[in-house]
Chain A
Amino acid sequence: MVSFTPADYSAIYLSMKVAVTATLLSLPVGFALAWLMTFRQFRGKVVLDVLINLPLTLPPVVVGYLLLLLLGQKGWIGQHLLQPLGIKLIFTWKAAVIATAVVGFPLLVRAIRIGLEGIDEGLIQASRTLGAGTFDTVMTVVLPLSFRGILAGSALMFARGLGEFGATIIVAGNMPGVTQTIPLAIYEYASSPSGDIMALALCLVSISLSVIILLFHEFLSRRLVKVD
């Protein structure tokens, strides 16, 4: 019988906490950017599109390393913004949140965009001519009609967040009970000679969580298709 150590439970809990926080933090920004990319024409739209999607194609290790350079003690943001405010991010669970947010962000924006592109622009014009301002229209027409896209994007990003490894290990390190998430714990067990069983057990936890989330995502996507 496999029994998890407190550090393992803490890894499971931390994985969930990091993925949930990263998703929630990314949602408003992701929605705003998706809205901008869908309904507005502006200069540099292609550049922004590439920037948003870049983490999808970059190795997560590269993302992590760049974040480390940026947020670390000698990094531009770390030195000029975080230190004066007394904030330390690197090698804390918050750094794991940032790494997860950056890596999962393209998935979120893509799903929301699909939801937004499904909205008939005539509905938006109708609401404007009926007396609703831009913000009012977003809150009462755009948000409700893209709700499933938003949910689907969040589910996808959350699932991706649970599995984040490359960027996290660089900016947050691998400290059991502090910054060690499920994938990092598995990595540690897998590198020790007698850790196979534990690694497999944690793999099962990881698989279960992912399957649940993906089933939920699949269910939502089907509903989306039906609405269209």
Chain B
Amino acid sequence: MELRVDLKKELGIFSFAANFTIQGDALGIFGPSGSGKSTLVKLISGLHQPDSGVIIIDGETLFDSSKRLSVPVEERRIGMVFQHPHLFPHLSVKRNLLYGYRRCPSKHRKIELADLIDVLEIGHLLDRGVYNLSGGEKQRVSIGRTVLSNPRLLLMDEPLSALDDSLKFQIISYLKSVSKRFKIPYLFISHSLVEMRLMSDQVLVVENGGISDQMSTEQLALSRMGQSLTGYINILELKDPQLRDELCAYPWGDGELLISAGNGQAGSLFELSSRDIILLRGFPHAISARNLLKCTVADTFPSGRRLGVKLDCGGEHLVAEVTLPAARELMIEKGSELYAAVKASSFRRMV
């Protein structure tokens, strides 16, 4: 999908201007609250009108002030997933789901109710009213309703910020599988870097009512490392654990990782801060950290007053962070061999 936007909008004392072209199927809009993310979303969806400019999706013009053209919201075929589910309280789950489907011209109807029910696991909810659903169920039904309207693009406006952590990652996997299964590109809006990294590979950075940057999500994460209190968050997707001495051992690279927050589930997602990795020059005889990984420095980069170190550990990658004096003592440079020590308790389970 290619989205081309060049527009201006004045909203009282707040003004928003953006000019960008972005391509991809998993795109993100990242920025702090009040920066203009939601304004941009409303302008693209047609809920707000720009004062001037153009919006073009895959060559089709949705808005062009010079031609006085503005495709109405209901004809743009841009699906929205909101922060709150906004389910229609007077309709059953099934009628909510079919609301957009029934209004979609038949030539665009590619996704059917039956396909969607499987992906989102909502078959058992169909005949219920929307009041008796849990938070996660409501958001799933809401996602389903939007997807069934067979949109060309999904705009996800902070869809996770009203959910607690465990639900958040559950919904992320639903969002991703829906987009992948039905081949719908999306624009994911969030102020959370972790969410952004799980959902997108290209991002637009929004700041002070405008687009300040456009880059890959990984680049964004690395560039924000120095400013963040938690450093860079390594996200590890681990599978098939074995229980060993009350810790879970997950195969990783050519070795394994011992994690105390592990559980018996087949697949889990863990986060590990770059600041929780200790780098050592030689092999220690004894150490309390349960993970001692032999690794090679793949790259280094400055990160504020520290040095970011990209490590290659038997085919897998980690990003660590050390102070400059430590870097000098360890003589860290590209290609040098090191040991990385990580406590089993430093891994935080996300899902």
A contact set with B: CB distance below 8 Å:
120, 122-123, 125-133, 136, 140-141, 144-145, 227
Besides A126-B88, A132-B103, 12 more A-B contacts (Cβ < 8 Å) are A122-B82, A125-B80, A126-B80, A128-B74, A129-B74, A129-B78, A129-B80, A130-B146, A130-B149, A131-B149, A136-B74, A136-B103
Q: Are A120 and B47 in contact (CB under 8 A)?
A: no
Chain B: minimal CB distance from A36 (Å):
19
Chain A: minimal CB distance from B284 (Å):
57
Closest to A125 in B: B47
Closest to B145 in A: A130
Cβ proximity bits B135-150 to A, threshold 8 Å, 1 near / 0 not:
0000000000110010
Contacts of A144 in B (CB 8 A): 90
- CA–CA, A122 and B78, complex, Å: 16
9 contacts between A and B (CB under 8 A): A120-B86, A128-B74, A129-B76, A130-B100, A131-B75, A131-B103, A131-B104, A136-B74, A145-B90
Q: Are B104 and A123 in contact (CB under 8 A)?
A: no
- CA–CA, A128 and B79, complex, Å: 10
- Residue in contact with B86 in the complex, picked from A125, A133, A140, A227, CB distance below 8 Å: A125
Asked if B72 is at the interface (CB within 8 A of a chain A CB), the reply is yes
- Residue in contact with A133 in the complex, picked from B72, B88, B99, CB distance below 8 Å: B72
Chain A: minimal CB distance from B333 (Å):
53
- CA–CA, A119 and B244, complex, Å: 55
Closest to B100 in A: A130
Contacts of B89 in A (CB 8 A): 123, 145, 227
- Residue in contact with B82 in the complex, picked from A126, A127, A128, A131, CB distance below 8 Å: A126
- A-B pairs, 10 with minimum CB distance: A131-B103, A130-B100, A122-B86, A126-B86, A128-B73, A129-B80, A144-B90, A130-B149, A131-B74, A133-B74
Chain A: minimal CB distance from B47 (Å):
6
- CA–CA, A116 and B214, complex, Å: 41
Contacts of A145 in B (CB 8 A): 89-90
- CA–CA, A181 and B89, complex, Å: 42
Asked if B84 is at the interface (CB within 8 A of a chain A CB), the reply is yes
Closest to A123 in B: B86
Chain A: minimal CB distance from B144 (Å):
12
Closest to A126 in B: B86
Q: Are A128 and B47 in contact (CB under 8 A)?
A: yes
- Output the residue of A126, A127, A131, A136 with the most chain B CB within 10 A: A131
Asked if B45 is at the interface (CB within 8 A of a chain A CB), the reply is yes
Contacts of B100 in A (CB 8 A): 130-131
Q: Are A123 and B88 in contact (CB under 8 A)?
A: yes
Quick one: which of B77-108 are within 8 Å of A by CB? 77-80, 82, 84, 86, 88-90, 99-100, 103-104
Q: Are B88 and A141 in contact (CB under 8 A)?
A: yes
- CA–CA, A226 and B225, complex, Å: 49
Q: Are A132 and B74 in contact (CB under 8 A)?
A: yes
- CA–CA, A144 and B149, complex, Å: 22
- Output the residue of A122, A127, A129, A133 with the most chain B CB within 10 A: A129
- CA–CA, A227 and B131, complex, Å: 11
A141-B88, A144-B90 in contact; A130/B99 too (CB < 8 A)?
yes
- CA–CA, A122 and B85, complex, Å: 9
- CA–CA, A130 and B47, complex, Å: 12
- Output the residue of B47, B79, B88 with the most chain A CB within 10 A: B88
Contacts of B86 in A (CB 8 A): 120, 122-123, 125-126
Q: Are A127 and B80 in contact (CB under 8 A)?
A: no
Contacts of A140 in B (CB 8 A): 99
Contacts of B45 in A (CB 8 A): 129
Contacts of B99 in A (CB 8 A): 127, 130, 132, 140
Contacts of A130 in B (CB 8 A): 74, 79, 99-100, 103, 145-146, 149
Closest to B73 in A: A128
Contacts of A123 in B (CB 8 A): 86, 88-89
Contacts of B75 in A (CB 8 A): 131
